[in-house]
Structure 1
Amino acid sequence: MSDILLEVKGLKKHFYAGKSLFKRARSVCKAVDNVSFKIHQGKTLGLVGESGCGKSTLGRCILRLIEPSAGEITISGQDITRMDARTLKAMRKEMQMIFQDPFASLSPRMTIHDILREPLDIHNIGTIAQREEKIAEVMHTVGLRPQALNRYPHEFSGGQRQRVGIARALVLEPKLIIADEPVSALDVSVQAQVLNLIAELQESRGISFLFIAHDLAVVQHTCDEVGVMYLGKIVERAPAEVLYRQPKHPYTQALLSAIPVPDPTHNTEHVPLIGDIPSPLNPPSGCAFHPRCQYATERCSREAPTLTQTQDEHWIACHLHPAS
């Protein structure tokens, strides 16, 4: 039996801008453009890239919080892209999300107890006593005291609210969790606590994670595999230790060289990242990264590279590294 929990094939999400007074055709924003990958049971894939590259849209498409334009999403061997609403509701127990902003994702009118009990009520899981027992269990798992159950989200710190968000995702015992920038709004010390908690959950419960972040330093010690995303496409994907040791795509090299190093005597070659990420409504021709790449050639401006396997489990979309 395959241990692949999540498989994404050719996933696309296109948004259409409204018609203007002088233009009849609608502009197309390819937020996610033909993305494919797999996550094995109990493993974590980190998805990194600058803001606006389509990471969060991809995560929401996988859970069908927004509908994909094309492609196939298979979870536990079931294609959820073709599920009707009733079947998908039952499937949602298997897949949950931790949102970037813990305060915005929690209802200010509900106590923590009600927030954690709501998923159990919706899916009619267990008796009343069993639901209360489950709530107490997840509170203990995320390091919050039972006395906090009668409080409201605004009474907590940012790190505590994110723990509540994690508890809400855990209460249904999912197999897959999409963590969308779960530590970006937190202090560095609190970030470490939340990252350690996620690592513990992966090890103790065998939960698979898609960990979305814009900072490669955040996912370095949390993820088994890392995918680098640029303008709706994955441009490099490899096991974490391989990608950090031998990054091949110029974009990945630039992101890694931008990670702050606490040792002032440490000499790391800086790879420049020129300009800003282009508008997805008007992407460059050929390789979307070529206007910012110091190694770009004439071929890069006219021909888009495909994501190909160069060696072992290392995939890259760059003309500098043809398939082996």
Structure 2
Amino acid sequence: LIELKNLTKTFKAYDSSFKSSKTRIKATDDISLQIKKADSLGIVGESGSGKTTLANLITGILHPDSGKILYKNRDILSSGEKLFREYRKNVQMIFQDPYSSLNPKLKIYSTLKDGIKRHITKDKKDIYSRCVELMEMVGLTEKHLSRYPHQFSGGQMQRISIARALSIEPEIVVADEPVSSLDVSIQAQILNLLQKLRKESGKTLLLIAHDLAIVNFLCDEILVMYKGKALEYGKSSEVIKNPLHPYTKNLLEATTKKDIKKVTTETTGLCPYAGRCKFFMDICRNELYKYQATETHYALCNLYK
């Protein structure tokens, strides 16, 4: 359905006085990935690992510096505006913060109807019926359509964000840390809702998270990122039961310790994790070995060379 080929995106670095420097930080570094129809892929990493940038590239919010994004074997960046519009319609995002992603001046009905009117139908009765259906789909009711965002709790607003993402019947839903801003008591409800909707609709799901437990719960496959690099990829069962990269092992430990540190920009080798790895070797300065453990599971690590 989607194939990423050598996707790279860099940003300017800024010093302590907020002045631009000549240094550029690679938010995504040569990422290649295939996403099949009805797949569920979890992209996991610490804050600053590049996972949200990758999500923004996949949704078309950002354009890469180099590399290709193929949608049904066609490059969305060089095949014309028509294909790009079709792609944007079929890839919808659930943002991390529901409070800032919903227009506070619009009632929920207006928030939902605009996309439906533009992409699905212009019939007023059909639009309203679709909005009611969406509300019920996410555990809300028809009466909620006449309310404003400030009249809802955080969990309810995230449900509305999910309804909006599904409103124009996309093929792919990208969820960027959809529960990180919610109370723990509400997180399980939203995760269960996402799992239920994915199974019922058969849509492709890309989940961005820093918690491997959440990704394992919702996703069939896991991509582990650090400093823009894909350090490990495999089926969820493989990555959880047999983590290969030292960074993945640290993330699993942090799942129980709840101690996720922000990524620093310093590095001492070709491997982006070299500066923090207790297994660091001289070879890590100049080489990065791709170890293929199984047909579906690999890691970039010199330990296996």
Q: Structure 2 length as normaliser, TM-score?
A: 0.92
Distance 2:224 2:129 in 1: 40
Q: 2:250 aligns with which of 246, 249, 254?
A: 254
The aligned amino acid for 1:186 is L
Does the aligned pair in 2 maintain the 1:53–1:232 contact within 8 Å? yes
Instruction: Classify the secondary structure of the residue corresponding to 2:43.
Output: strand
In 2 relative to 1, CA 113–19 (structure 1 residues): closer, same or farther, beyond 3 Å?
same
Shift of 1:132: 1.1
Q: Which residue of 1 aligns with 2:276?
A: 292
Does the aligned pair in 2 maintain the 1:142–1:163 contact within 8 Å? yes
Does the aligned pair in 1 maintain the 2:221–2:236 contact within 8 Å? yes
Runs of 4 or more, structure 1, over 3 Å off, are 17-21, 83-87
Q: 1:190 aligns with which of 177, 186, 190?
A: 186
In 2 relative to 1, CA 109–304 (structure 1 residues): closer, same or farther, beyond 3 Å?
farther
Q: Please list every run of 5 or more consecutive structure 1 residues that lacks an aligned counterpart in the other structure.
A: 262-271
Q: Which residue of 2 aligns with 1:305?
A: 288
Distance 1:24 1:239 in 2: 40
The aligned amino acid for 1:200 is K
Instruction: Classify the secondary structure of the residue corresponding to 1:193.
Output: helix
Shift of 1:16: 2.7
- Bigger helix fraction: 2
Q: How does 1:86-235 map to 2 (within 5 A)?
A: 86-123=82-119, 125-235=121-231
In 2 relative to 1, CA 304–31 (structure 1 residues): closer, same or farther, beyond 3 Å?
farther
Q: Please list every run of 5 or more consecutive structure 2 residues that lacks an aligned counterpart in the other structure.
A: none
Cα distance per residue 1:256-311 (max 9 Å; x no partner):
012228xxxxxxxxxx99x86222xx5433211111111111111x1241544232
Distance 2:98 2:15 in 1: 36
Shift of 1:193: 1.2
Q: 1:277 aligns with which of 253, 263, 271?
A: 263
Counterpart check, 1:316 vs 2:302? no
In 2 relative to 1, CA 20–293 (structure 1 residues): closer, same or farther, beyond 3 Å?
closer
In 2 relative to 1, CA 25–150 (structure 1 residues): closer, same or farther, beyond 3 Å?
closer
Aligned Cα RMSD in Å?
2.4
Shift of 1:25: 7.4
Shift of 1:90: 3.3
Shift of 1:83: 4.2
Shift of 1:149: 0.6
Instruction: Classify the secondary structure of the residue corresponding to 1:291.
Output: helix
Distance 1:35 1:29 in 2: 15
Shift of 1:67: 1.4
Q: 1:68 aligns with which of 56, 64, 67?
A: 64
The aligned amino acid for 1:166 is I
The aligned amino acid for 2:207 is F
> How high is the sequence identity, in percent, across the aligned residues?
40
More displaced stretch, 107-116 vs 35-44 = 35-44
In 2 relative to 1, CA 19–228 (structure 1 residues): closer, same or farther, beyond 3 Å?
closer
Cα distance per residue 1:104-133 (max 9 Å; x no partner):
000011111111112123336342221111
Q: How does 1:6-85 map to 2 (within 5 A)?
A: 6-17=2-13, 26-85=22-81
| Aligned length in residues | 303
More displaced stretch, 75-84 vs 111-120 = 75-84
Shift of 1:172: 0.6
Shift of 1:7: 1.2
Instruction: Classify the secondary structure of the residue corresponding to 2:207.
Output: strand
The aligned amino acid for 1:54 is G
Instruction: Classify the secondary structure of the residue corresponding to 1:221.
Output: helix
Does the aligned pair in 1 maintain the 2:12–2:21 contact within 8 Å? no
Shift of 1:20: 11
Distance 1:24 1:312 in 2: 43
Does the aligned pair in 2 maintain the 1:98–1:166 contact within 8 Å? yes
